[in-house]
Amino acid sequence: MGIRSYLQGANLLNTNSPWYSILAILIDTGFTFLPALVAWSATKKFGGTPVLGIVIGLMLISSNLPAAGAVGRGKAQPLMVSLLGVKFALKGYQGSVLVAVLAGWLVSFVEEKVRKFVPNVVDMILTPILTLTITLFIILFGIGPVTRLLEEMIVAIFRFLFTLPLGIGGFIIGGLQQILVITGLHHALWIIDINFLDKTGFNLYQPVRNASVLGQAGACMAFAIFARNKQLKTNSIASTISALFGITEPAIFGTTLVYGIPFMFGVLGSAIGGLFSTSIGLAAPGMGTAGIPGILYFLGSNKLYLYLLQSIITIAVPLVLTAFYIKKKNI
């Protein structure tokens, strides 16, 4: 994904090209259907029927629901539905790990309760139908509105934080960004990038996003360099490369969050990087790209060295701290 972003930014790959479509199949499929994979795994873990987890996960990202990222970027409108006189703004849960886990638990819980009163003779027909129906309605009209409320609160808080002096807001936002990635709530924050670009022509959020991804890259890089376990080392090399190009999920779920403390070291590095960029007013003329592809925003600008300095600082802090952690734990 990161390489594709670079090729697009360098005008080496056209979105209308058939090769773009081929690459999209290869690159996007796993991430597009991530909620289905997570819901399947969670359902299996909680003792439910795994295939029901897959189906409810696919429902979360149904093409009939506007993608959360598209809504966040202002490219789509939520699906407005009225239920019992109350209007609900529905959207998909692409990239949302937390909701997918909750869906896996919920489908397992509902299936168990439904199976207790459904006669055996119609169990194979009624249990899946009732389980999926009840679970979907709870998610769309229960968990969904709560998630939307949380998103609105987070956007309001982040907007306020950018007004704080001395880069304090950048420190907090940089630290929180990857925590929100775990839950999928970060999709709502694209509206902040859009507002910056609309009002000023420059985006203060992009360098903070850069810090957020490179913090995890630095922590994961330490495993790639210093880990003794060969499998962990190999996986961390691939995840580090991915994070350097702006995609942190492999680094988070494959390495840093697995060990806990290194994830927090990454968060600390991101916070320091965010503090640095906001304190000096570093801003990009666009949105959506971070890490190595983000360099394209600053080519030919006298701010390039600041972007590179921020990147180095952000990577170095968790790299050093995680290296000591690995040595101490003999990983």
Tokens 């019992």 correspond to: 84
**Cα distance between residue 16 and residue 289, in whole Å:** 20
Main-chain phi, psi angles of 268, to 5 degrees: -65, -45
Q: At what angle do helices 97-117 and 168-183 cross, to 10 degrees?
A: 30
Q: Is there a contact between 93 and 35 (Cβ–Cβ < 8 Å)? A: yes
User: Which of 228, 235, 203, 158 lies closest to 303 in space, CA to CA?
Assistant: 203
Domains of the chain: which residue ranges?
33-154, 162-329
Tell me which amino acid residue 23 is. Answer: L
Per-residue pLDDT of the chain (331 residues; tens, 9 = 90+): 667 777 877 788 888 888 889 988 988 888 778 889 989 999 999 999 999 999 999 999 898 988 877 887 778 888 898 888 888 888 888 767 778 888 999 999 999 999 999 998 998 999 999 999 999 999 999 887 787 777 778 888 888 988 898 999 999 999 999 998 887 777 778 778 877 887 788 889 999 999 999 999 999 999 999 999 989 999 999 999 999 998 898 999 999 999 999 999 999 999 999 999 999 999 988 887 788 988 988 888 889 999 999 999 999 999 999 999 999 998 8
| pTM score above 0.75 | no
String of DSSP letters for 262-326: HHHHHHHHHHHHHHHHHHHT--BSS-S--SGGGGGGGTTSTTHHHHHHHHHHHHHHHHHHHHHHH
